[in-house]
Amino acid sequence: MTILGISAFYHDSAAAIIQDGKIMAAAQEERFSRKKNDASFPTQACIFCLKKAAINIDELEAVIFYDKPFLKFERLLETYYQFAPKGVRSFLKAMPIWLREKLFLKRLIRRALQDVQAYDKKKLTLLFSEHHLAHAASAFFASPFQEAAILTIDGVGEWATASIGIGKGNRIKVLKELYFPHSVGLLYSAFTYFLGFKVNEGEYKLMGLAPYGNPASRALQQYKKTILDKLIDLKEDGSLWLNQKYFNYAKGLTMVKDQQWEKLFGFPKRKKDDPIQQYHCDLALAIQQVMEMVVLKLAKEAKKCTGARYLCMAGGVALNCVANGKLWQANYFEDIFIQPAAGDAGGALGAALAAHFIHFDNHRKITIENHPTQYLGPYFEKEYLRSFLKKLNTPFEKFKNFEQLCKKVSQQIASGKVVGWFQGRMEFGPRALGNRSILGDPRSETMQKTLNLKIKNRENFRPFAPTVLEEDAGFYFNLKKPSPYMLFVATVKKEHRKELTESDDSTSLLKKLAIPHSSIPAVTHVDFSARIQTVTEKDNPRFWQLLCAFKQETGCGVLINTSFNVKDEPIVCTPEDAYRCFIKTEMDVLVIGDFMFLK
């Protein structure tokens, strides 16, 4: 039984394919189309998935979409009705596209599938899953647990913005839901907007900015009080009520009422290119801390409702690894599984899993083979690479022995070089986990600045994440569990930290960044935190081997691991993409499979 899952038309479209319960392939359309967060129908991702499963559309048991359009339309109409006559501009802008396309999604999908491959429309079974059920299924059915509590939190699906459920075998039961317009994700996005970042993309930046806030400042306490007293009413069970007097997303074309927020927080909305001030950082920290409170309360409620030993999480908010780290420290659950593509792209995977287990009532057998790995994207065979190299006509070095390649790359990294590392199957989800990565030396005091400004061309306040050999994680970090998907933040151990003077602590944001905070400064954020990926030989043998070689070379089993892309571009997919990125940045070395290019 083969099922194709699709997420599309909102942001970050993707396709995933399940064969007899086993996840065969999944990929985001942006990686093929090269348009960041591409929302169009995932034609190329579907072609890839079908090819990987060696199947035609006619042979599929079903195609399933991750969202119910009628239910979403109902929410839109009710919301506009509730706020009328306000919101008329937004209504007039939204309706044409709904009446032309989104309400007729069945027809749209059937037509779009014709571009993927010719097929018999009469044979096609087209299903629709609820948005949060797709998230829940992506987390639970991909997890190694037979029974677990499920927590999904995002901006909004149809009506639900968060849900608590329980998964048992091949069943998911939703126990509680929080409905639009009250949403943890939209609250965080509102602050993303107010602090001058792009909604749906800039949430990571807000999370990266928060550690620059001063935890001891009066401003922080005041901001938190304002959020909790004026903007939201947070209940003990984690549900919250957003005071619509201050928000505009339900009826307007902006997230918040700018002037009201200016009065609340004492400064105007930051424009995209405005310099970041300390009060921006303090507000970022305030909302981050409030969000952590909400996530912890929701998880506590999930524990109370289900009594489960384990927790599975998905939805965009589950990508907030700082909150995840706090949740892990809270010890409510024996283990937590967060699906690596927790955002809407993962909805394609979840919808397909939901169809297989819930709709078709298939038995769920948990085996290592059925578990998803993070590497579900395209792979390029040696033949392809040979023909690519021939066309390229550029000098390169071929290594017959992978050990030697790792040794050479380690030496390059240790000498301060930046390496593009392209191996095996592409990752599914927003994180590069060692197959489409840019690597550097974490011990270097200048590497963070070099990578941000010369390679990635992105905001210089943004931190980099470490990849560490799993056996060494406890040596460097206060991390109690493996973090193979880079979804948990933990602090650097005290013995590796550097003493900071009082003047260091009170210095400006950019100066703070330049002060080394630990023996691995390039991956230590200003609050001594790090977003960690742990690697074992089983997870990724090639990447593990490189880490071992670097450890042998330097004594340090840690590398900087950042996604192989530049600002505003998706992560590279093909060797051609990787080479283009290598040429147009100041990257020093590129490794594709067993081949090495030097500049």
Categorise residue 36: left if φ over 0, alpha if ψ from -120 to 50, beta otherwise: beta
CA 283, CA 195: separation in Å to the nearest integer? Answer: 8
Between 107 and 230, CB nearer to another protein = 107
* Selected binder of another protein within 149, 186, 298, 520 (CB under 8 A): 186
By CB under 8 A, residue 365 contacts another protein: no
> Per the structure block, which two tokens stand in for 281?
């950082």
By CB under 8 A, residue 90 contacts another protein: yes
By CB under 8 A, residue 314 contacts another protein: no
By CB under 8 A, residue 255 contacts another protein: yes
Spell out, one character per residue from 128 to 167, where the chain touches another protein: x when CB under 8 A holds, - when not: ---------------------------xx-----------
The four Cα atoms 10, 338, 455, 447 give a dihedral, to 10 degrees, of: 150
Those residues with Cβ within 8 angstroms of residue 229's Cβ, 6 or more apart along the chain or in another chain:
none
The minimum distance between CB 248 and another protein, in angstroms, equals 9
Exposed e or buried b for every residue in 30-51, given b needs 16+ CB within 10 A? bbbbbebbbbebbbbbbbbbbe
Segment interacting with another protein, rule: CB under 8 A, options 66-74, 330-338, 530-538, 556-564: 66-74
Closest CA to 308 of 521, 110, 143: 143
> Which residue blocks in 313-358 are alpha helix, DSSP H?
321-330, 346-354
* Selected binder of another protein within 2, 138, 170, 200 (CB under 8 A): 200
CA 156, CA 200: separation in Å to the nearest integer? Answer: 12
Name the amino acid, one letter, at 31: R
By CB under 8 A, residue 102 contacts another protein: yes
By CB under 8 A, residue 127 contacts another protein: no
Between 253 and 366, CB nearer to another protein = 253
List own/partner pairs for 331-334 with CB under 8 A and 24 or more apart: 332/299, 332/300, 332/303, 333/149, 333/299, 333/303, 333/308, 333/309, 334/309, 334/310
Between 83 and 396, CB nearer to another protein = 83
By CB under 8 A, residue 121 contacts another protein: no
By CB under 8 A, residue 77 contacts another protein: yes
CA 112, CA 120: separation in Å to the nearest integer? Answer: 13
Between 99 and 583, CB nearer to another protein = 99
The minimum distance between CB 9 and another protein, in angstroms, equals 8
Between 28 and 518, CB nearer to another protein = 28
Q: Binding-site residue total for another protein (CB under 8 A)?
A: 39
By CB under 8 A, residue 249 contacts another protein: yes
Between 10 and 337, CB nearer to another protein = 10
Burial of residue 427, with CB atoms counted within 10 A of its CB: 0-12 exposed, 13-18 middle, 19 or more buried: buried
By CB under 8 A, residue 254 contacts another protein: yes
By CB under 8 A, residue 250 contacts another protein: yes
By CB under 8 A, residue 106 contacts another protein: yes
* Selected binder of another protein within 21, 181, 325, 521 (CB under 8 A): 181
> Per the structure block, which two tokens stand in for 258?
């700018």
CA 382, CA 405: separation in Å to the nearest integer? Answer: 16
The minimum distance between CB 339 and another protein, in angstroms, equals 20
Between 43 and 192, CB nearer to another protein = 192
Pairing of strands 62-65, 126-128: parallel
Contact 575, 385 (CB under 8 A): yes
Contact 79, 91 (CB under 8 A): no
Closest CA to 138 of 125, 123, 157: 157
Q: Which residue has the tokens 């927020």?
A: 261
Between 101 and 445, CB nearer to another protein = 101
Between 9 and 328, CB nearer to another protein = 9
Segment interacting with another protein, rule: CB under 8 A, options 4-12, 166-174, 221-229, 523-531: 4-12
Between 157 and 557, CB nearer to another protein = 157
The minimum distance between CB 62 and another protein, in angstroms, equals 17
By CB under 8 A, residue 386 contacts another protein: no
The minimum distance between CB 102 and another protein, in angstroms, equals 7
What counts of helices (H) and strands (E) characterise the chain?
Answer: 21, 21
**Binding-site ranges for another protein (CB under 8 A):** 9-11, 70-74, 76-77, 81, 90, 93-100, 102-104, 106-107, 155-156, 180-181, 183, 186, 189, 199-200, 249-250, 253-255
